[in-house]
Amino acid sequence: MTRSSAPGKVYLFGEHAVVYGEPAVPCAIERRARVRVDQRSDGRLRVHAEDLTLDGFTVEYGRRDDGPDVNVSESLVAAAMGYVDGAIEQVRAVTGEPDVGFDVTIESDIPLGAGLGSSAAVVVAAIDAATRELGVTLETAELADRAFRTEYEVQEGQASRADTFCVTAGGAVRVEGEACRRLEAPDLPLVIGFDGGAGETGQLVAGVRALREEYGFAADTVEAIGDVVREGESALADGDLEELGRLMNFNHGLLSALGVSARSLDDMVWAARDAGAYGAKLTGAGGGGCIVALDPTEATETALKYTPGCEETFRAALADEGVKRLE
């Protein structure tokens, strides 16, 4: 039996634009997915999931079966199992054990589809735990790469390395194309607001792609996000929270222009700004989910609690450690 955990993440800057080779700066946060893996001798895969913003369920099936026999909708199983299946296929490939089976138990306090990196955290923790169960320990770079390959396939080529590298390495990171590295970052007073919903990542990414292909100014907007990221790196290195906040506000406006915000997200962003936050923006694919604000006081948390459409608000500590090997 082996256990691993991986953190969630928020984007300070750069979501969507990172898909087109622009840089992005995500930060790992201390909300985690925990995965326990036990090897099986019969080649079957049994997955028990809890706390994934879905009712808990258990699935068991073999590689040649028609599919899992469970009493939940097929679409729900597909959404929950796609990343796990992909992760286990990476484990089988890297260990040279094509027929190995596992019992996999997932617990997470990262809401699904909310822009906090739930899928990346599950994939990274699952690959790490399952490879170690077979006596193989992957280095950070390969673990992040294997996790990226999983997300890339499940998301039909629309994933970037940002999420998986961030939750593997921890801390604040910079990702541009295939170049990934950690950044020095101060303690950031991160406040998260969650509307209880989830955007459709594939549809939102496809929508930006269509705009970018149709309008030159939409392509310019994507490039402008990259410029914001580069300015944000300097502010992060200087520990200049006021400048970070201004640039986060700018980034949110550009994302909104690309059509990936939502009324609930805009309402939370403005509530945070009106409360005195240095800045606030959506995080992740958008369309619903979470915003992230910078505020060392309690004012933003209080304001979000009274904002219609905000179902949860919490302060998020920077996770300096990425994947953790628990057992």
The distance in angstroms from the start CA to the end CA of the chain is 8
27 vs 22, 32, 134, CA distance in Å?
A: 17, 13, 30
Tell me which of 163, 195, 267, 295 is the catalytic residue: 163
Distance between CA atoms of residues 221 and 14, nearest Å? 11
Helices (H) and strands (E) in the chain, counts: 9, 12
| Residue 163 annotated to the active site | yes
Question: Residue 183 — left, alpha, or beta (φ > 0 → left; ψ -120 to 50 → alpha)?
Answer: beta
321 vs 94, 128, 179, CA distance in Å?
A: 24, 14, 20
What does the longest C-alpha to C-alpha distance in the chain come to? 58
Which residues are designated catalytic? 163
